[in-house]
Amino acid sequence: MVMDIRNLVPGHVKSGLGKTNRTKSRDIADNSSSSSDESDDSVSLTGQTSHLASIIQQMKSSPVVDPDRVSPVKEKVDKGDYEIEYERVANKMLDFESSYYDY
């Protein structure tokens, strides 16, 4: 199905998008003469695609939690010795916000 998106307004949905039967029959006639052009289309993937696929696979196979980082914190929490550094947390939040909004 072909959609005519030239007169769309953001946030509005038009019903009956697409071409009319009259236009479709004309497009079919036009496409029959240019079918040899379409056969020349091809897709080639770069080496980056396979590299990204291997990175994604590594991410999927790695554990979600790093036990080396979690164990010390868990021990402190269990003993009741874990202290929250409020100022550090607040500064990290502000740093994140300023980088996000580019202040």
pLDDT in tens, 42-86: 776 677 888 898 899 999 998 888 899 999 999 999 999 999 999
Domain membership flag for residue 81: yes
Q: What percent of the chain has pLDDT over 70?
A: 57
State the Cα–Cα distance between residues 74 and 51, nearest whole angstrom. Answer: 36
Domain membership flag for residue 46: no
Domain membership flag for residue 53: no
Show the domain range for 86: 72-103
Looking at residue 39, its pLDDT comes to 67
Counting runs of H as helices and runs of E as strands, what totals does the chain give?
A: 5, 0
State the Cα–Cα distance between residues 57 and 51, nearest whole angstrom. Answer: 10
Domain membership flag for residue 35: no
Domain count of the fold of the chain: 1
Domain membership flag for residue 6: no
Residues 6+ apart with CB under 8 A from 7: 14
